[in-house]
Chain A
Amino acid sequence: MSSLLGSRKQRDVILQLLFLAVIATVIVTSVISTKRNLEITGVTVGWDFLRYSTGSTIAFTLIDYDINSTYARALLVGFVNTIFLGVISVSLAIILGTVIGTARLSGHKLLNFMAKCYVHLFRNIPLILQAFFWYSLVAHLPAPRTAITLPGNIFISNRGVFFPWFNVGGWYCVAAFAVLAAGIVATVSTMKRTARWTAFGWLAAAAAIASAIMYMGSLPDLPFISIPESKGLRFVGGVTIVPELSAAIVAISLFGASYVAEIVRAGFLAVPKGYTEAANALGLQAWHVFWRIKLPLMIRTILPTMTNQIIWLMKATTIGIAIGFSDYFGIISNSINRSGQTLTLIFLLIIGFWAINMTISFVLNAVNRAIALPGYKK
């Protein structure tokens, strides 16, 4: 018996060593070939190129960038753009998806039918085709001279969407937004425990601080709010959302919403019947049953699936390159063409997306643990 066990152990060790040997061979072979091929092409791999100027422009930037900026700066621009596009599209997808997923389960048959059509239509057409479609649509909008004008000085044209914005330094805007977001979180989380007015006190305080920050950051010698004005072929003032960005946002959020809707629907279906029956029996109104019982339980059920979905949508922002949006992937691909530093840049691409994914799953797993209800499984 002991000899049999011994031989099994030996076999296991040999198998694992073989496995390691195969992997080591693959790695060593690729390292050797890489070295040889790089010698042939004469490219020296390294990080030095990050300090060189790119000599090219980027259509849409959120942070300062010009033609003399370095590759490192360009990559940062791309990374910020990816996060920006991702956060906006994912938020819109979650909001729209939750509404549609709820409509899927409403007792009303026509509403259910409409939501069902939406889900099937947007799920079964490739995202990139949808992105091409929206981009063509945006590119065929009227020229700035004949732009569509919406109330509040918003202009929609084939050069982008223009709307009024504050003449305030960028970082001050970010800070004010962060304060406001913190205020909303504080309000929502204290609402259940304290009186309404205390909860809204948080919101009022946050709004006051945010306004103060905006006032501090306002640029000298300019009106507080800048309004876009038509100047022949273009608009001056306000902010511009370039066509590439608006097409990408529309495509990713509409596509993402169809997946989110199905997750939300499954989440509502997984809420045990006993909970809603008990709530009804206690005499809660339909609205309260939904808002206080079903929705919180649904969110707890779907959070793990939703985490995967959000990561997946963040990865889907890479289709921006197809319609010319300068996201992280687009900038990497551009830099490869210009600098020839393929290996370093692909490495940075992988690290960048790993960082995004790890952050999302770390934060959402922490949220998942924090809101878990004792005794409620799933």
Chain B
Amino acid sequence: MKADLVMANDMFASPVHTRSFIETVRKDYFSTPVQALLTLICASVIVYVIWALVRWAFIDSIWSGTPEDCHAAAGACWAVVKDRYRLIMFGLYPYDEQWRSAIACLAVLATVILSCIPYFWSAKRLPVVWVVGYAVFYYLMKGGIFGLSVVLETQWGGLALTTFVFASTVIIGMPLAIVLALLRRSKLPVISALTALFIDGIRSLPLLSILFTAAIVLPYAMPDFLVGDKLYRVIMGAAVFFAVYQAEVIRSGIQSLPAGQEEASIALGLNYWQTVSRIILPQAFRFALPPTINQVVIAFMETSLIVILGFFEITASGNAAFSAGGWNSFYVEVYTFVALIYFVFTYSLSMYGSYLERSLRLMAR
């Protein structure tokens, strides 16, 4: 009996044909003359680029020294990054207190990593994580408690300022996005129409003009006690811009839910708030997770726009790093360093986003 089963299994097993390496290469890369030519061209381009990069970045490069040493070398001048990394990362934050800046940035990084773990995906846990992470960042940077000296926002700079604007944008923008999405879905025509007008109006403007308006026009249009610091007005502008895009993401998440979900919860006698907070939003967020991550990545990259309004965030501190002390011609190294910081963060988040998208698609099957 057992033997029969084994035999049956063997019969149904597909004929496995393992290709040898050479066979694979021939089939995939040299099957036709055109393909062979393409393979040769691509391979030589890839090898050349990698070789040139390695030679520039590692073999011919200078890791420490003066600008004169660098001018003598053919490769990259990482000495400029070594000499100026404190300026790039922390801006004009007091030198002896810069460890606070570093830990503060790590706190926000930890917050983002924690929010990628499914355990924290609930309406109770996620806000706690963000509020705690944000508070740690803010009080470490600002000081004034636990014997830390006070450092004003005007002295914040570099990666720390970028992180601050990013975290503030998300923490203000996300609740606002949920409110806007719900208002737009409202069955009351006046509310939904006006919200739609607001969302579509903001969406058709460049972020830069919103930030500009927040920095320059708002002081005219607001009563004096509300005006506040330019930095916070710009953050509000960025948060509103994030919120209108994120509101549409959440709304499309809600729309992809089967109508039965809402009907069933109403039939069970749940009221509006229970339906929204227990049934609609948790499921909508699950659908909207990949595009939400995409929005967060975009929000992180777009913090760099505030350089135009005169803030000393990481792009500006990068510009400052090579514009003095004879480092003038080593802009490529500084930009590479700054780009690498952005790239590591955004690339890993977007990879995580596409991993989630794949697993969601599998779940839906």
Contacts and interface: CB of A to CB of B under 8 A. Distances in A.
Contacts, number: 141
A15 B191 contact: yes
Interface string B233-250: 000000000000000000
B308 interface: yes
B220 A343 contact: yes
B342 A353 contact: no
The 3 closest A-B pairs by CB, nearest first: A110-B42, A315-B206, A30-B221
Nearest to B205: A353
Interface in B134-188: 188
25 contacts: A33-B224, A108-B35, A108-B42, A110-B38, A113-B42, A114-B45, A114-B46, A125-B301, A125-B339, A125-B342, A126-B302, A126-B304, A128-B304, A132-B318, A132-B335, A311-B204, A318-B206, A321-B208, A329-B209, A342-B216, A342-B217, A342-B220, A346-B209, A354-B204, A354-B205
B219 interface: yes
Among B191, B206, B315, B319: residue with most chain A CB under 10 A: B206
A288 interface: no
A208 interface: no
Interface of B: 28-29, 35, 38-39, 42-43, 45-46, 188-191, 194, 204-209, 212-213, 216-217, 219-224, 297, 301-302, 304-305, 307-308, 315, 318-319, 329, 331-332, 335, 338-339, 342-343, 346-347, 350
A336 B216 contact: yes
Contacts of B217: 342-343, 346
A160 to B, nearest CB: 19
B227 to A, nearest CB: 9
Given A37-B220, A38-B220, A20 B43 contact: no
B209 A353 contact: yes
A350 interface: yes
A63 B39 CA distance: 48
A319 interface: yes
A338 interface: no
B216 A20 contact: no
A350 B343 CA distance: 32
A333 to B, nearest CB: 7
B208 A110 contact: no
A246 interface: no
Contact of A108 (B39, B206, B219, B318): B39
Nearest to A35: B220
A109 interface: yes
A346 B215 CA distance: 12
Contacts of A343: 217, 220
Contact of B213 (A33, A111, A311, A346): A346
Interface string A347-362: 0011001100110000
Contact of A15 (B43, B188, B224, B347): B188
Given A29-B222, A343-B220, 12 more contacts: A19-B191, A33-B224, A111-B42, A124-B346, A128-B305, A128-B307, A129-B335, A318-B209, A322-B308, A336-B216, A353-B206, A354-B205
A333 B342 CA distance: 28
A343 B219 CA distance: 11
B245 to A, nearest CB: 10
A316 B308 CA distance: 13
Contacts of A333: 212
Interface in A290-321: 311, 315-316, 318-319, 321
A28 B226 CA distance: 15
Contacts of B342: 124-126, 129
Contacts of A123: 346, 350
A120 B346 CA distance: 10
Contacts of A3: none
A331 B62 CA distance: 42
Interface string A19-40: 1100100000111011001100
A16 interface: yes
Which of A38, A129, A133 is packed against the most chain B CB atoms within 10 Å? A129
